[in-house]
Amino acid sequence: MGLVKRLQEYRFEVRHFIILFIILASFQVFLSYLHNISSNTLIEQTMDLYRRDSAIRLGNLVTTSLELLLEQSLSNPRNSEESRRNTIEAFDIILNQQTLQQNVNEICLVLPSGGNTYVIDEGKELYDFIFDQKTPSPEKSSIHRKAIEYYSKFSQEIRGSEQIYCSWDEIQSFHVMIPFVPKGEYEGVVYMRITPDVSNITQEISSVYDETGIIFTALILFGLLAMFYITSYTVRERDLAQEQLFKEREKQIKADIAHQKEELFTKRIYHAHHKAEKVMGFIKEEIRTLTEKNIEQFKYIVTRYSNFISRVIYDMKWYEPPVHATRNPIFNTNLNDVIRFLVKYVFQRVYSENTTCHFSLNLDKNLPEVHINEYVVWEIIEPLIQNCIDHNKGQDILITINTRYDSPEKRSVIEIIDNGKGIVQDMLQTNADGIKKIFLEHTSTHENAKNSGYGCYIAYELSTKRCGWTLDAVNLKFGGTKMIIQIPMH
């Protein structure tokens, strides 16, 4: 199992090793093909060398021996049968001894006489033909057909030049014809058919090639193994370096995320603390106006104020509260009630009817409840309404809040509309993540933006990341701004 895991871990390098091995095998096949060609060329050159040297030398030696023997026999008188027998025996030895060699397949004398061509391969026939002028048996002509064929083809050329003729046929046999010139007169030719045996040379070449191929393959194999080891070691070092880099990067990202969360927590608490101070002022005001007649209304208003302050204190415990503290089936928040309460008991307390800020509510009574904490909804809607007021100071501003439920789409929609001067177009440009600039932190159209630019940012972060809603801002055609919150009700 350990080996399998290691192979799986380094399958990239193993794949390369296999590819290199296939390349090596292909190279060996190609090298074998080249070896065959080179071997054939070498053998052909060897045969050519043998033809030019050994075959001609052998034929020349045999012919010279016959000529010397004839000259000696002709110079000595033939007085006895013993002399005749010794001469015939010497002829047989010269003719037959050559055929005993491995390379010589055929040897004979081709002699023309009286318009006919005779073939002699025995000492007695040669003796009778030379000394007694007896005609050899015609049966030898059928046995040595190749000798007669080659002699007929090249007899005139050999007679005229008296040069040795050698031919190489398709079965790699040499046909050697040496002029037979006893006592300086042309009598015919000595024909020899020689098939050189180069098996020893071929075997030697093959064995040398095999040894070289084995050494060559072993060297390449060891080279591949060394490459495999080096690449595996390099890859392990690379993976280790990448792993350490990724760990460092992971730590850095976690630190950045923690910093961003902590920064968001600080900003959210800062704004919630500011709102809590304002709500505490409202509670004090309610206490000062408390009478027996408005005790029930006092309980309703102060209870909701107090719950909002409790939510602020709860949020101060951690910068990433658990999901169930924001989204939970136990929460059944009526969005219309939250909007009415914010408008009547927060904004209209600050901006009385005598000011230039007015509200118009068109709330759909069929709007379903949401399973979101009421005071998270407060933290989303309140900064959006406040943004409409802050960016249109000095104007007679009408803020219209519409809610509706789109039953076919199963979606609730909240629209916060003002009739002011609208949002600067640059703030509606989107970044690479598709987020409009107005919803980014540290962005504001206020001249003194040191403590601004967080309201819409916090509303966007809470609505999109905590609640799963969508938030958008657009400028209206005839002036003013529309903030659109879309709430899926699946």
How does pLDDT run across 394-434, given as a tens digit for each residue?
778 899 999 999 999 899 999 999 998 888 888 888 888 88
Quickly state the pLDDT bin for 391 (edges 50, 70, 90). confident
In a domain, 47, yes or no: yes
Answer yes or no: are the C-beta atoms of 488 and 414 closer than 8 Å: no
Answer yes or no: are the C-beta atoms of 385 and 483 closer than 8 Å: no
For the chain, how many structural domains are there in total?
A: 2
376: tokens are 């998270």
Q: Are residues 22 and 170 in the same domain?
A: yes
Q: Which of 441, 428, 442 is nearest to 483 (CA)?
A: 428
Q: Quick one: average pLDDT of 348-373? A: 84
CATH code of residue 434:
3.30.565.10
The single residue listed with the structure tokens 């074998």 is 32
Q: Quick one: average pLDDT of 143-169? A: 79
Phi–psi pair at 45, nearest 5 degrees: -65, -35
For 225, counting Cβ atoms within 10 Å of its Cβ (0-12 exposed, 13-18 middle, 19+ buried), the class is: exposed
19-to-13, 14, 225 alpha-carbon distances in Å:
10, 9, 13
Q: Model's pTM, two decimal places?
A: 0.50
153-to-159, 185, 191, 337 alpha-carbon distances in Å:
12, 21, 13, 128
Cα separation, 106 vs 104, whole angstroms: 6
In a domain, 325, yes or no: no
Answer yes or no: are the C-beta atoms of 112 and 189 closer than 8 Å: no
Residue ending a domain, choose from 164, 197, 230 = 197
Q: Quick one: average pLDDT of 311-336? A: 81
Q: What tens digit of pLDDT does each residue of 217-255 get?
A: 777 777 777 777 787 788 788 888 888 998 898 889 888
Quickly state the pLDDT bin for 453 (edges 50, 70, 90). low
Residue ending a domain, choose from 148, 167, 197 = 197
Q: Quick one: average pLDDT of 162-181? A: 76
Cα separation, 178 vs 395, whole angstroms: 133
Q: Which of 359, 421, 415 is nearest to 394 (CA)?
A: 421
Cα separation, 376 vs 466, whole angstroms: 9
Select the highest-mean-pLDDT range: 58-67, 394-403, 451-460: 394-403
In a domain, 467, yes or no: yes
Which pLDDT does position 475 carry in this prediction?
Answer: 92
Cα separation, 146 vs 173, whole angstroms: 12
In a domain, 122, yes or no: yes
**Range of the structural domain that residue 437 is part of:** 333-488
Residue ending a domain, choose from 144, 167, 197 = 197
Q: Are residues 21 and 166 in the same domain?
A: yes
Q: Which of 379, 383, 342, 380 is nearest to 361 (CA)?
A: 342
Answer yes or no: are the C-beta atoms of 348 and 376 closer than 8 Å: no
In a domain, 319, yes or no: no
Q: Which of 464, 250, 275 is nearest to 385 (CA)?
A: 275
Quickly state the pLDDT bin for 362 (edges 50, 70, 90). very high
Beta-carbon contacts of 211 under 8 Å, excluding residues fewer than 6 positions away, are: none
